[in-house]
Each structure stands twice: as C-alpha cells, then as structure tokens.
Chains A and B, each alone.
Chain A
Amino acid sequence: MDVIEVNKLVTQYGARIIHNELTFTVKLGEIFIILGGSGCGKSTLLKHLSRLLTPKSGQIVIDGTDVTFLHQEFLQQAMRPVGFMFQSGALFGSLTLLENVAVPLYKYTSLDRDTIESIARIKLVMVGLGGFEGYYPHEISGGMKKRAGVARAIALDPKILLLDEPSAGLDPISADELDDLILELNKVLGITFVIVTHELHSIFKIAQRVIMLGRGNILAEGNPHVLKDSEKPWVSDFFNRRGKFKR
C-alpha cells in the first residue's frame, strides 16, 4: 500500500521551476531516502509533502487523501499522520526542550501535565537527550537541536516521518545511534520514513529505496546497493564519493 503518492508534481519559486513533473510513491513501512546535490530541491520537496508550500500543479496523496489543494481547514486533519523534522531543527526558542516536545501532545491530547511531561521525557531519552529537558534551544549544540527536532517530530507517534538531513552535523557515533533509532522506530512502530540525507553510511545502513533528484526530475530510483554500480556516471559518482575532477 502506498502512503505517499506524488503525481507529476511541479513546483516553483517565482518563475524558477524546482521540480518538473515529479512522480513517485512511498510504500507503507518503508524507509525511503531522497538524494541529490545541494540546492536541487530536496528540502523544497519535503515542504510540499507536508503541504507547507502549495505546488503549481500535480498531485500529492497522503495516506489516501488528496491534499494537493486541500483547504486549510481540512489540511490539519489530513496531515495528522505526518511528522516533520526541519533541516535547522526549528525548535521553539522560547520553550525548553521538554516543552518543545510537549507542544504537539498538549495540542492533540487531553492528557494531564505530568503524563505529557513523562511521555516527552521518554522521547528525549530516545534521541539521547536525557538530562537536557530543562535546556533552551540556544543552550545546546546544532546536532543536539536536530535530535530534539526528531524527538518533537515523533511526539505523536506519526505514521509518516519526514526528516530533513537528520544526521548532518552529528558525530559518527551519534549519527549511527540516530540510524539505529530510525531502524527501531521503523521495525517496532512501523513508521514510514522519508529522509533527506547525504550520509553514505546511513544510506547503505537504513535505506530500502532511494530516489536521486537532479535537474528538476528523478535521475535514478532503486536500492542503493544496486545504484552503486549504476551505468549513469553521476549516480555511481555519488555513491563512490567521486568529485567531477577525479573522473
């Protein structure tokens, strides 16, 4: 079953087209990875999938609902199964980490304060931030912000998690732990992941399917272990870390 269907998606900033008729699907329970050079529109794609931006044309179906041009009123309900971690973390600066993670819980549940706080604490421990509950975002490092962003994104145990470069800026150990966390959430809770990443280690460790964006379209699609030996030069260069001057 497909939880995300993207059909001939066209997006643009002003007159500049970023994606030109993009078509792909993400299956339930899959770890789906979006690759591509810097500036090719990966973050933009995630923002369209979460409907922060409205596409020019095309179709986006999330969990059976066509959300492409859905009105604001219904959008919130339709996007309930989706969690989002921003490239920058985007934590609320005026709230502590614990409060940040608790925000969605306050919004969507009527649990009492103590329960919400203990749920939020568990999420923070899961991303390795136990003990930092009372810290404000400006008091922690960039990598810690990302992990806190992941914690907030999984606050409501969403069905689909969109992560924008979760492990960029993390040390190898933390990055590996984050990958383990993703695998675990995927296996145990059956969460579908759509992840933008450049980390080859991560890709080979967790990806079940990748698409590679470029020139506004999909350059390649498939399993990373297969794509590694692709005929297309740019694809194999990517997986073998070859810059254009080493060819």
Chain B
Amino acid sequence: MQIELPKKIDLDTIPDIIKEVDQILANPSGDVLTLDFFQVAHLDTSGLGTLVRSMERCQAAQIKVEFVNVDPKLSHLLEFVNIKDAVDAIPGPPPKKRGFFEKLGRNTTWYLKDSLGFFEFLGKATTELLKELVRPYKIRWADTFYYIEATGVNALPIVGLISLLLGMIIAFQSADQLKQFGANIFVVELVAISMLRELSPLITSILIAGRSGSAFTAEIGTMKVSEEVDAMRVIGLDLTEYLVAPKFWALLISLPLLVVWADVLGLVGGALIANWKLDIPYYTFILRLHEKVAVRHLLLGLGKCYFFAAIISIVGCYRGMLVASGAGSVGRQTTSSVVTSIFLVIIADAIFSIIFTLLDV
C-alpha cells in the first residue's frame, strides 16, 4: 500500500490525505503503508499533526507506516513524530471513559465529600469567630470597615430602589381590591406587615447574596489562583482570621442596616401609592402605621436577617476556598456560591415562617 503525498502538506491538502488513509484502512491489502515524500517540499505543523494521527490509526489497525524519499530538510521536523520527551514527570494513566454507575458513585462520593468539607469549614470558622466575639479587639477592624462599605454603603441605592418599587407594587396591586370593599385604609397594614416581616429581609438578602456573596467567592478564589492563599499559609496567617472573619462581621453589621433602609423605602413606596390611588393622606398613613402595626414585625424581620447574613458570608467564603486553579474554576464556584446561598436563605426563611406560626408571633 502506498500514498503519494502532495507537494505541500498543509491545511489545504490535509482533507485529501485523510481521505486516502480512510480508503486504505477501509480495506487494507497488506500490513505496511508507505508514505512517499518524493514530491513533498513543504510540511507545516498541521500537516505533521495529521501524519501523526494517521500513523496512530494505522498502528491501531496493525499496519506499519514507512516514510520514503524524505528530503533531509524535512527530516528534523519528522523527528517530532517519534518524540518521547526524555525528561518529564511519569505520565499518569490516560483518562478512562466512565460508565453510568461509576459516574453515579463518583458524584455521590463527591457530594458527600463536599458537604463534609463544608461542615469542617463551618466548624473551624465558628470556633475562630466565637474566639473573636469574646475578644473583639482581635477582629481586624480596618478590613471589616472596608467590607461594611463595600457590602452596605455601596448597596444603598440598589436596595433602596428595589424596596421602593416593591412597596409601590404591593400597594398598587391591592388598591383595586381594597377599594371595592371600601377598605382603603387596610393598605397600610398590608404593605407594612408584608414588607417588614417578609419581603424586605428576603429581597435584601437575595440581592446581597448576588452582589456581595459572589464578590466574596470571586475575591478569595482569585487569591487562590494567584497563590496568595498559599503564601498566607506559608507565612502562617490564619485564613479564617484574615479572609473570612472581616467579611462575616461586616455582613452581620451591614445586612440588618440595609434591611431597615429597605423597610423605610418600602413604606415610602406604599404611602406614595396609597396617597395617589386610595386618597390616604401621608399623615393618616403614618398614624395608622403607628397604631396598628406592632413593632414585633420589624424585629422578627431584622432577627431573621442575622441568620441570612451568616449564611451568605459563610457560603461565599467556603466556595471561594474551593477554587482549585484557573479562571473557569472561579466562575463555577461564584455561580454555585450565589445559587447555594439564595437557596439556603429561602429554606431558612421557610423554617422561620413555620417556627413563627407555631409560636404564634
């Protein structure tokens, strides 16, 4: 069997060569394939790759490949075909294709390991954070203030705008219904209780999970990729103290403040619509709020968001620590951080709802 190679072996002529090899492999008439380089004057790296691939395919079919009439100018390039780097790490076994059950098993163990790792991280972080709580002078306040600004102050506009709109939407949606019964004034309770108790803690937490939780993961993840985390370990710096704690305390301080801000703007939004659509003067709105809406709704909403803050910062930091290497890993963990923390916040909120109902508060 023989193939006469063309004058140039490059991306233009490769398809023809592959076709010829295909034909020969389809019905071989011997066990040696001769590649005739007589005409070949030019060989580039793509051509080289194709030759290597063709040789591998022939070898798989028990066919030996021989080169003949090779121009000495090309011979040094062809040496690459047989290259085995003399000095390298011992190559590992090539990755195997995995069957369904192997994948199932691997993924299961992976998830178990993942959750175990999370609890280990949670345990370590809690110990360190409790230590700092007892000795607040050990907290890295400069970093903490920086994160309060980043997670709290800088989020004021977006959180405010969204809560204002939310308050307006609730009032607007209920206006028509309430009007039918002449129950206009109840819009105050409706807006106030739903905002204070449920919506502003939840929406603010979800916003902050997307805004700051992701930033925590990306920041720590990037530090892992650039070996900064390794450098910290070599120097002997405690990762929880330096990377986790400032973010944790900052969010614990800023999230409740943001929720209060969201409460205020939600009520403002409700009052605006109540005034416009239901003819309730602002003064009446405030008076009714004062008389009919208990402070406990505000406090319950605020109480919950301490837990939400803890969830967001711990998940964000944990996911950041999981980044292995490369920008892709940072992206994956950031996505996963946001999804996990929003999911956990909503679960926690559901649990609080059940508890509050049982306690009848």
Contacts and interface: CB of A to CB of B under 8 A. Distances in A.
Nearest to B231: A90
Contacts of B361: none
Interface stretch (A12-20, A114-122, A126-134, A200-208): A12-20
A39 B86 CA distance: 12
Given A76-B236, A104-B235, A107-B235, A39 B228 contact: no
B206 to A, nearest CB: 27
Contacts of B230: 47, 52, 86, 90
B93 interface: yes
Nearest to A164: B227
Contacts of B88: 37, 39-40, 214-215
Nearest to A53: B230
Interface in A1-54: 14-18, 20, 36-37, 39-41, 47, 50, 52
Given A86-B230, A91-B228, A92-B228, A41 B86 contact: no
A103 B233 contact: no
B226 A245 contact: no
Contacts of B223: 93
Interface string A55-67: 0000000000000
B85 interface: yes
A39 B89 contact: yes
B231 A92 contact: yes
Interface in B190-238: 222-223, 226-228, 230-237
A93 B234 CA distance: 16
**Interface-central residue, A36, A90, A244, by most chain B CB under 10 Å:** A90
Q: Give chain B's interface residue range (CB within 8 Å of chain A).
A: 20 to 34
Contact of A93 (B226, B232, B237): B226
Given A36-B87, A88-B227, A50 B92 contact: no
Contacts of B76: 245
Contacts, number: 80
A234 interface: yes
Contacts of B234: 50, 52, 79, 82-84
Nearest to A20: B90
B91 interface: yes
A90 B76 CA distance: 40
A79 B237 CA distance: 12
B79 interface: yes
Contacts of A50: 234
Contacts of A88: 226-227
B78 to A, nearest CB: 11
A47 B93 CA distance: 24
A216 interface: yes
A129 B234 CA distance: 23
Interface string B278-308: 0000000000000000000000000000000
A214 B87 contact: yes
A186 B88 CA distance: 31
B89 A84 contact: no
Given A90-B230, A92-B228, A245-B76, A103 B237 contact: yes
A218 B353 CA distance: 65
B137 to A, nearest CB: 14
A104 B226 CA distance: 19
Contact of B79 (A17, A80, A86, A245): A245
Interface string A83-100: 110111011110000000
Interface in A231-247: 234, 244-245
Nearest to B230: A52
B231 A216 contact: no
Contact of A37 (B87, B227, B232, B233): B87
Nearest to A245: B76
A125 interface: no
Contacts of B85: 37
A70 interface: no
Nearest to A77: B236
A215 to B, nearest CB: 6
27 contacts: A14-B92, A15-B93, A16-B89, A16-B90, A16-B91, A17-B90, A39-B88, A52-B234, A76-B236, A79-B236, A80-B236, A84-B234, A86-B231, A87-B227, A88-B226, A90-B228, A92-B231, A92-B232, A93-B223, A93-B226, A93-B228, A104-B235, A104-B236, A214-B86, A214-B87, A214-B88, A244-B86
Given A104-B235, A214-B86, 5 more contacts: A17-B90, A41-B89, A83-B234, A84-B234, A88-B226
